[in-house]
Amino acid sequence: MMKPYRFRSTVCRVDGSMNPHGIPVPDNVSATLRDSGVSRLIVTINGYSLRRALQGSKEFGSHIVVGLDLLRQAGAGLGDEVDVQIQQDPHPEHIDLCDELLIALEQDPEAMKKWESMTLGKKRSIAFHVSSAKREETRIKRALDIAMKLRTGSLHGD
């Protein structure tokens, strides 16, 4: 397990990205992480922790992708300087599932079977899609829709 890294960084715009907010990671930290083969991280921003992967682009360099909701929870916004700590995720295959998605999958054995055969990346994307809804009703609707699409093989990319 690698030691945690702590630094200050400024929330910036990442042009050309689906989620246009990023927190730059110093080159020496990102090089150490990449050289060590670390792909999944526990990132703490102003005391608010989450799981993420180190991202990189030629235009922007190494960064952590963040959304507006996460920034609000961390008490930050675009252009703000934030306190950042990153460390290796001890459970890189863990996926945070909201209750709504977990229940929908548990109640639909065919959807669960398809879910279990998916890659970690697809699972993370689906879990984020469902859990990112602010209202419980929307999370339930999305979870049921995903379960139905998994069961019927009509999920995009099937």
Give per-residue pLDDT as tens, 69-117: 788 889 999 999 999 999 999 999 999 899 999 999 999 999 999 999 9
Residue 132 — pLDDT band, cuts 50, 70, 90?
confident
With respect to residue 38, please indicate whether it lies within any of the assigned structural domains: yes
Residue 157 — pLDDT band, cuts 50, 70, 90?
low
Do 13 and 83 belong together in one domain?
Answer: yes
Do 103 and 133 belong together in one domain?
Answer: yes
Do 11 and 31 belong together in one domain?
Answer: yes
Other CB atoms within 10 Å distance of the CB of residue 33: 20
pTM for the whole structure: 0.75
Using the 3D structure, point to which of 88, 117, 143 is the last residue of a domain: 88
Most trustworthy range by pLDDT among 64-68, 117-121, 144-148: 144-148
Which pLDDT value is given to residue 28? 93
Q: Order of strands, edge to edge, in the sheet holding 81-88?
A: 5-10, 81-88, 40-45, 48-53
- Alpha-carbon distance of 42 to 75, in angstroms, equals 18
Contact 29, 7 (CB under 8 A): yes
Range of the domain at 69: 5-88
pLDDT digits (tens, 9 = 90+) for 14-51: 876 566 789 999 999 999 999 999 989 999 999 999 89
Q: What total number of domains does the chain contain?
A: 2
Taking residues 113-130, what's their average pLDDT?
92
Eight-state DSSP code of residue 93: T
- Alpha-carbon distance of 7 to 81, in angstroms, equals 10
Do 107 and 46 belong together in one domain?
Answer: no
Which pLDDT value is given to residue 67? 81
